[in-house]
Structure 1
Amino acid sequence: MINQSIAVIAAGRRQRRRRWMLVTLSLAALACILCCAMLMLGNTVYPVQDVIRALSGEQIKGVSFAVQTIRLPRMLAGLFAGFAFGVAGYIFQTMLRNPLANPNVIGITSGSSAAAVYCITVLHSNGAVVSIASVLAGLATVIVMYLLSRGKTFSIGRLILVGIAIQAMLDAVISYLLLISAQQDIPAALRWLGGSLNGSQMHELPPLIWSVIIFTPIVIVLGKHLNMLELGEQSASSLGVSTDKTRVTLIVSSVFMIALATATTGPIAFVSFLSGPIAKRLVGTGFSNIIPAGLVGANLVLAADLIGQFAFEVRFPVGIITGLLGAPYLILLLVRMNRKGEL
């Protein structure tokens, strides 16, 4: 009887593993297809062989400039920023056990955005200065949220409410900065705030790429501990998880990724909010969804950018398209949570 039960459990685990592998590989393949589409499509459609030759360094009139200078940075920015948004959103939603607890809603993105807008409109800076300011502001926002939400015990609900309040305050700061800024700085700031891959340049991407390369393995290693945190503070502690150390490591890793992604592309709406639930629906439970969530985020950004460029007569920034996708889901989620008495 016991052996039969063990066999059933093992078979179920193998089935979940196969599903995880199938979904992850499918998401990775879709991301590759979208990356190829972004390199090929534009005002002029280039064949695959010309794109490959241009990427290999061969100089082809018209093709090399378009692919290497415009399309490749845009594609890499969308790929890595989307992955960073997806991973960070999934970590916060899982760790805080609430689908509303993502960096867009609880103020982390707004903190990075406020710092970036200040650098753009007041200091007239860009590049590394904006990236550093975004990371520092994101970390400072998390620290303030954590301190304000701590009473006698740590409360997830209190943290989310404090985060929403901080987001409202920081959004007001951003509006004030736009009001007092010089007229010539406003278009750049507004374009950045809308979330856009326009104007992405290769020299701006290394901090974002390295943050994803460095911090993704860290959060993957902590994936099992993250799943245990979802069971609750006491349950995770009883299973041997150092909850404070794990939580701090995950938060710092997530903030670095999302702050640098925000500094590179602007706050692309709802990507961190949608990626985790979509990945969980596709993969199911039993395994860490960190990589699938990141791939879902990358696919959302790449697909939304292609839609914004080619589906309408007027070209729209990627943030507008993701906002149109995410807003109805947010309303539906709030309705469901209200019916269940979770609000």
Structure 2
Amino acid sequence: MKSSESPVALVPGGEVAPGERIDFGRPMVVAFGRRIDVRVVVIAGIVTLLALVCGFLGLLLGKFALTPTEVFQGLFGVADKRIVNTVVGEWRAPRILAGIVLGAGLGVSGAVFQSLTRNPLGSPDIIGFSTGAYTGGIVTIILFGTSFVSTAFGAILGGILTALLVYVLTWKGGVQGFRLIIVGIALTAMLNAFNTWLIMRSDLDLAMAAATWGAGTLNGMGWSTILPATVAVIVLGLGCGVFARDLGTLELGDDTAKALGVRNEPVRAALILIAVALVAVVTAAAGPIAFVALAAPQIGRRIAKSQGTSLLMAAAVGGLLLVAADLIAQHGMALTNQLLVWLGVIGVDTADDIQFPVGVVTVCIGGVYLIWLLIHEARKAP
């Protein structure tokens, strides 16, 4: 690993003098043949640390309150009380891991689609791939029950078929980002109507299961679900990383990318397939969780002040957003009531610890973010 930051000596004509390195304006290192932005790595590490702090709070809080010592003992299964090992190791830890890992997967998927479309609105939940995965999951639940394996297979198949349909409808001598978004929005509306019809026509128990899963929730998350999902997210995330350099080049435009040796359509098709699979895995595990894929890449880009969309920053911010949203969903009502008691607004905290699906919280947060994003983009327009 070596630093690639050094003063630049320009010769007449603007070219770099022989033997001189390019100054990128910020610390850079070269590792494994690739330039790595030190600022992005450091900030991504800080964001990941914040996600772990939120996760630790999630392990502490609840109706069965624990001390930090009990949490660490429960993680390793050596607590004196058996109930502590069960609460921490079997109930809370899988949920925390799910929030971080699945959020990271959504962040990476959103970064890929926003880079391909060169549009901050180009996320899988806007384009329709999340809805397609949800449709596949609903069909599988109605036909084969609520098994994770069958639901995962149906969600992946539904997401891929939706991506193929959007790709075909968008194709016109290539895939244009704006056309991809418009076609995706139209297909999302059609799939939402179809999903509603499926739920209304199905058996009551299956309809309730599909509706609960469709809200997007980490409730009841266990190791049997999150471990295979974690492996899948890591493998698919590394697959996106393989194409990270080409993805950054595609942001410069198809003509520039082709001139730099990128095989535009094969690379774009591979990235779409991998990113759709990421969304489908998350959907199969926790249901369609909205707006994390939309917000995480842009928030990460602004925090790191990077020129392009960083997959690493998107993953870190996505993990933080989802685990923090789940913390609010589980304990937000109880903490709010305790705060009101402390401020003297109410006398006694008699409210139950009401828990919401995490998808409800991400929709609320994402709605505010989407309004801000639309206003911001409108002001930038000439």
| TM-superposed deviation, 1:10 | 2.2
User: Could you say if the C-alpha distance between residues 291 and 20 of structure 1 is closer, same or farther in structure 2, counting changes exceeding 3 Å?
Assistant: same
Contact 1:308 1:317 in 2 (8 A): yes
Q: Does 1:296 align with 2:317?
A: yes
Aligned positions of 1:298-337 closer than 5 A: 298-313=319-334, 314-337=354-377
- C-alpha deviation, 1:331, in angstroms: 2.1
Q: How far 1:34 sits from its partner (Å)?
A: 1.7
Matches within 5 A, 1:112-123: 112-123=133-144
Q: Indicate which of 11, 16, 19 corresponds to 2:39.
A: 19
Instruction: For residue 55 of structure 1, report the CA deviation from its aligned partner.
Output: 2.0
Deviations for 1:159-200, whole angstroms, at most 9, x for unmatched residues? 211111111111011101111122222332222111111011
Structure 2 residue corresponding to 1:38, chosen from 51, 54, 58: 58
Are the equivalent residues in 2 in contact too, given 1:208–1:261 (CA < 8 A)?
yes
- Aligned match of 2:120 in 67, 84, 99? 99
TM superposition shift of 1:201: 1.5
Q: Structure 2: how far apart are the matches of 1:154 and 1:29? A: 38
Note the C-alpha offset of 1:2.
5.8
Shift, 1:36, TM fit: 1.6
Deviation, structure 1 residue 332:
2.8
Residue 191 (str. 1) matches residue 197 (str. 2): no
Read off the aligned partner of 2:365 and give its amino acid letter.
Answer: L
Deviation at 1:312, TM superposition (A): 0.9
Bigger mean CA offset, 4-13 vs 55-64? 4-13
Measured in 2, the distance between the counterparts of 1:108 and 1:189 equals: 18
Amino acid corresponding to residue 117 of structure 1 in structure 2 = I
- Name segments (4+ residues, structure 1) moved above 4 Å: 4-9, 338-342
**Contact 2:217-2:287 at 8 Å conserved across structures:** yes
**CA positional deviation for 1:277:** 0.5
Give the Cα–Cα distance (whole angstroms) in 1 for the partners of residues 89 and 51 of structure 2.
Answer: 19
Which of 282, 295, 303 does residue 274 from structure 1 map onto? Answer: 295
The alignment covers a number of residue pairs equal to 342
Is the 1:207–1:260 Cα contact (8 Å) retained in structure 2? no
- Could you tell me which residue of structure 1 aligns to residue 9 of structure 2? 3
Name the residue aligned to 1:146.
167
Q: More deviation in 4-13 or 277-286?
A: 4-13
Aligned equivalent of 1:176: 197
Deviation of 1:117 (Å): 1.6
Shift of 1:151: 2.2
Alpha-carbon RMSD? 2.2
Once the two structures are TM-superposed, the CA of residue 9 in structure 1 deviates from its matched residue by 5.0
* Paired amino acid for 1:102: S
| Per-residue Cα deviation, 1:54-104 (whole angstroms, up to 9, x for no partner) | 222336321111112210111121111101001000110011101111100
Alignment match of 2:237 (pick from 211, 216, 221): 216
Distance 1:115 1:2, change over 3 A: closer
Which of 100, 104, 107 is equivalent to 1:86? 107
TM-score, structure 1 as length reference: 0.93
**Alpha-carbon distance in structure 2 between the residues aligned to 1:301 and 1:2:** 42
Find the structure with the greater CA-based Rg: 2
**TM-score calculated relative to the size of structure 2:** 0.84
- Mean CA deviation greater in 232-241 or 185-194: 185-194
Report which stretch shifted further, 279-288 or 70-79. Answer: 279-288
Does the Cα contact within 8 Å between 1:17 and 1:287 map onto a contact in 2? no
Larger displacement relative to structure 2 (300-309 or 284-293): 284-293
8 Å Cα contact 1:208/1:257 also seen in 2: no
Instruction: Name the CA distance, whole Å, in 2 between partners of 1:266 and 1:279.
Output: 24
Mean Cα deviation higher: 47-56 or 26-35: 47-56
Residues 19/137 of structure 1: CA separation in 2 closer, same or farther (3 Å cut) = same
Deviates further, 169-178 or 149-158: 149-158
Amino acid at match of 1:221: V
Alignment CA distance shift 1:287-1:179 (3 Å):
closer
Equivalent AA in structure 1 for residue 77 of structure 2: G
CA drift of 1:306 comes to 0.7
Are the counterparts in 1 of residues 8 and 23 from structure 2 also a CA contact under 8 Å?
A: no
Q: 1:336: how far off?
A: 4.0
CA distance, structure 1, for counterparts of residue 190 and residue 308 of structure 2: 37
More helix by proportion, 1 or 2?
A: 1
With a CA cutoff of 8 Å and minimum separation of 6, indicate the structure with the bigger relative contact order.
Answer: 1
The amino acid of 1:240's aligned partner reads G
